[in-house]
Amino acid sequence: VATPGCTPALHVLALACDFKPGDEVIVSPISDYGTVQGLLAQSIIPVFADAAPGSVNFSVETIEPLITDRTRAILCVHFTGLINDMDPINALAKQHNLLVFEDCCQATFGQYKGRLVGTLGDAAAFSFDAEQTMGADQGGCLVTNNEKIHERARFMGHNRASETIPP
């Protein structure tokens, strides 16, 4: 789903997942405001996990203690191209029935165990702004293999006329 940038892509993702005000998303500890702007706009609470020792990324050890009955997702930021250890994060998310999102702005074409970033969770957002890894002046996108997220994101991100939101 094409968007004006990564910040709007993550905002559309928050809308597409039908989170409720007060729901929580566990977020990587190091990023910029654009990662959480869409969450805050929807009254979703970003909960910042600590970085793992010796890393800018969080880990299951720093994420797991923050999971509550209000937690809905884990938002991984592959900051400066340093990709999170996604297999344990996905396993933890599955155990708690949580979605996993990736902010891939600074890791375009990065790989984790032979898989490209953006394919490691339920959905991912990219930026094409000039200062990013794959700069093209401006733009972004949201990618997902989840049909429900895709349909709702496409509707939320592009449709201005319909009265009905896809279920």
- pLDDT, tens digit, for every residue of 30-71? 988 888 998 999 999 999 999 999 999 999 999 999 999 999
- pLDDT, tens digit, for every residue of 97-109? 999 999 998 888 8
**SS3 of 107-147:** CCCCEECCEECCCCCCEEEEECCCCCCCCCCCCEEEEECCH
For residue 81, give the DSSP letter.
G
- What pTM does this model have? 0.89
80, 56 Cβ separation under 8 angstroms = yes
